[in-house]
């Protein structure tokens, strides 16, 4: 699959943008910038979702209903639980994060007024069971109660910066740049920045072929997917259409039979239930028409915006296409060309839903 020369620069820009759930402003701004030239209408809804509409031709007797294509803006992160008297922060997960996903690393604390640097710490490794968290650290079985953030600020200074319970803590920009590994790209937060790029590329391709599009397509970049799917649930409840397709990363795991390759994963079901057989088959055939060999997978320990809105009864039909990804929710890795393969498959699905 040919590589788009704009893929890596846009991906890197999105990776450098901080976007914890409920505070995705940096990512939202970039997404809107990319989407506006491609769509007939763009807007940010009251939930904070970025939405772009490409209108279909509505050919009499042929028009299909609107489709909502969803990729999410947010990343896994941390929340301040409390500020200790010495300025140390105690934190909990925001989304599906575990301490091992980040390790001991630099972080940015997103205060109400500015950003404060910090270090995520598990404590010294040179300790015994006498030290709180020592046993967990030495065994590698680290829990959030074993973790703290060193700020080198007093509690009063943190208060002045607007740091309080509920403040977001994210991986520092110092550690966000992508890293090339031969024919692969590795980085934190390819979930969901890589699917965002694929969705934006699909929108760009569709804009060039809008005369072939029968039904309207809403490109929805959602908030708070990692914690509650709140953005997707709001958007699906307020936008037309009975079909929702999520664009995601898909775990490369032996138990699912998935491979690290450019061929997209077509998710047949997850922990929230099965996807619509008709949409699953249409996505699979679309990939085949692009010269790809899509991978069916039942990802039982997984969920997406599409399965959330289906499970809530807001969307009648749903599907999920995913970019094969190693180390999901960790230091993730995808193959060069897999973003473009996902985008081409999405385009073919949207243009020719009933294609054989």
Question: Are 86 and 69 in a shared domain?
Answer: no
Question: Are 210 and 329 in a shared domain?
Answer: yes
Instruction: Please tell me the total count of domains within the chain.
Output: 2
283's tokens:
């996505």
Question: Are 338 and 220 in a shared domain?
Answer: yes
Question: Are 124 and 63 in a shared domain?
Answer: no
Helix-helix angle 25-35:7-16, to 10 degrees:
150
Question: Are 92 and 59 in a shared domain?
Answer: no
In a domain, 237, yes or no: yes
Identify the CA nearest to 50 among candidates 65, 66, 70, 75. Answer: 70
**Distance (Å, whole) CA 8 – CA 59:** 37
CATH number at residue 117: 2.40.30.40
83 and 89 Cβ atoms separated by less than 8 Å: yes
In the chain, DSSP assigns E strands to 41-44, 50-54, 67-72, 77-83, 89-94, 106-110, 115-121, 148-150, 168-171, 179-181, 184-188, 217-222, 243-251, 265-270, 273-274, 295-299, 317-325, 331-335
Domain carrying residue 156: 77-174
Question: Are 71 and 138 in a shared domain?
Answer: no
Looking at residue 60, what is its pLDDT? 45
Question: Are 197 and 170 in a shared domain?
Answer: no
Burial class (CB in 10 A: 0-12, 13-18, 19+), 60: exposed
**Distance (Å, whole) CA 319 – CA 326:** 21
Looking at residue 125, what is its pLDDT? 72
In a domain, 286, yes or no: yes
**Rounded to the nearest 5 degrees, what angle is found at the Cα of 278, between the Cα atoms of 277 and 282?**
115
Question: Are 137 and 267 in a shared domain?
Answer: no
C-alpha count within 13 angstroms, C-beta hemisphere, residue 149: 34
Question: Are 34 and 157 in a shared domain?
Answer: no
Question: Are 43 and 85 in a shared domain?
Answer: no
Question: Are 33 and 84 in a shared domain?
Answer: no
User: Looking at 174, 204, 236, which one is the last position of a domain?
Assistant: 174
Question: Are 170 and 308 in a shared domain?
Answer: no
**Distance (Å, whole) CA 121 – CA 149:** 6
Per-residue pLDDT of the chain (356 residues; tens, 9 = 90+): 678 889 999 999 999 999 999 999 999 999 999 999 999 999 999 999 999 999 998 764 455 789 999 999 999 999 999 999 999 999 999 998 899 889 899 999 999 988 999 999 988 777 766 666 666 666 667 889 989 999 999 999 999 999 999 999 999 998 999 999 999 999 999 999 999 999 999 999 999 999 999 999 999 999 999 999 999 999 999 999 999 999 999 999 999 999 999 999 999 999 999 999 999 999 999 999 999 999 999 999 999 999 999 999 999 999 999 999 999 999 999 999 999 999 999 999 999 987 65
User: Phi, psi at residue 339, to the nearest 5°?
Assistant: -65, -45
User: Looking at 147, 174, 201, which one is the last position of a domain?
Assistant: 174
pTM score? 0.95
In a domain, 125, yes or no: yes
In a domain, 202, yes or no: yes
In a domain, 217, yes or no: yes
**Distance (Å, whole) CA 220 – CA 234:** 11
CATH number at residue 326: 3.40.630.10
User: Looking at 174, 197, 225, which one is the last position of a domain?
Assistant: 174
69's tokens:
């294509």
Torsion sign, CA atoms 137, 139, 142, 145: negative
Looking at residue 234, what is its pLDDT? 98
**Distance (Å, whole) CA 181 – CA 200:** 24
In a domain, 180, yes or no: no
In a domain, 181, yes or no: no
């Amino acid at each position: 699959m040919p590589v788009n020369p704009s893929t890596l620069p846009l991906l890197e820009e999105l990776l450098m943008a901080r976007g914890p759930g409920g505070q995705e402003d940096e990512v939202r701004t970039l997404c809107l910038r990319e989407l506006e030239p491609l769509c007939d209408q763009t807007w940010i809804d009251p939930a904070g979702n970025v939405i772009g509409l490409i209108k279909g031709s509505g050919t009499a007797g042929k028009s299909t209903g609107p489709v909502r294509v969803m990729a999410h803006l947010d990343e896994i992160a941390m929340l301040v639980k409390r500020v200790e008297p010495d300025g140390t922060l105690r934190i909990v997960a925001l989304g599906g994060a575990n301490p091992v996903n980040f390790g001991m690393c630099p972080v940015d604390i997103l205060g109400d007024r500015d950003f404060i640097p910090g270090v995520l710490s598990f404590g010294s490794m040179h300790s015994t069971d006498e030290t709180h968290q020592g046993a967990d650290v030495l065994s590698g079985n680290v829990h959030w109660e074993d973790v703290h953030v060193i700020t080198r600020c007093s509690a009063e200074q943190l208060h002045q910066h607007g740091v309080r319970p509920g403040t977001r803590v994210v991986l520092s920009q110092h550690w966000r740049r992508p890293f090339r590994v031969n024919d692969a790209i590795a980085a934190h937060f390819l979930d969901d920045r890589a699917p965002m790029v694929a969705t934006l590329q699909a929108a760009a391709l569709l804009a060039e072929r809008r005369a072939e599009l029968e039904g309207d397509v809403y490109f929805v970049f959602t908030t708070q997917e990692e914690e509650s799917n709140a953005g997707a649930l709001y958007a699906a409840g307020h936008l037309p259409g009975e079909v929702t397709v999520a664009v995601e990363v898909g775990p490369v795991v032996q138990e699912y039979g998935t491979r690290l390759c450019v061929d997209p994963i077509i998710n047949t079901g997850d922990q929230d239930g099965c996807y619509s057989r008709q949409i699953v088959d249409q996505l699979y055939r679309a990939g085949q028409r692009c010269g790809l060999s899509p991978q069916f997978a039942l990802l039982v320990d997984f969920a997406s915006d599409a399965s959330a809105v289906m499970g809530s009864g807001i969307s009648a039909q749903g599907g999920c296409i995913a970019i094969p990804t190693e180390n999901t929710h960790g230091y993730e890795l995808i193959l060069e060309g897999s973003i473009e393969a996902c985008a081409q498959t999405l385009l073919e699905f949207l243009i020719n839903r009933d294609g054989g």
